[in-house]
Amino acid sequence: MFRFDMDYGNSVIYCYEMQIETAYRRKGLGKFMMETLENCAKHWQLEKVILTVLNNNINAMSFFKTIGYILDDSSPDVLEKAEYKILSKCTL
């Protein structure tokens, strides 16, 4: 699930949810879907793709970092003790 959005003044695609059945993981489908979102963002000249990952989802955190996503400036501060992080990848 994704949508075109404004995030702190940036035009972005926000990936709200991506779920892949266990049997189909590690076959390139997640990477393909994220590359498709990144290509959409580039096509419409949006600044980045943003997503939220729960801190306890180690596999997802590792996956997104492997494909180039970094901690976004809008991610909650350590002192806020949030249960999630916001990651992003610039597309311009």
- Where are the domains positioned within the chain? 2-90
| Residues 6+ away with beta carbon under 8 Å from 11 | 4, 5, 44, 45, 46, 47
Using CA atoms, how far apart are residues 77 and 92, in angstroms rounded to an integer?
A: 26
Could you please report the per-residue DSSP string of 13-38? EEE------GGGTTSSHHHHHHHHHH
Residue from 63, 66, 69, 70 nearest 25 by CA? 63
What is the tens place of the pLDDT at every residue in 53-87? 999 999 999 999 999 999 999 999 878 889 999 99
- pTM as predicted: 0.90
Greater confidence (8 vs 72) lies with 72
Per CATH, the number for 2-90 is 3.40.630.30
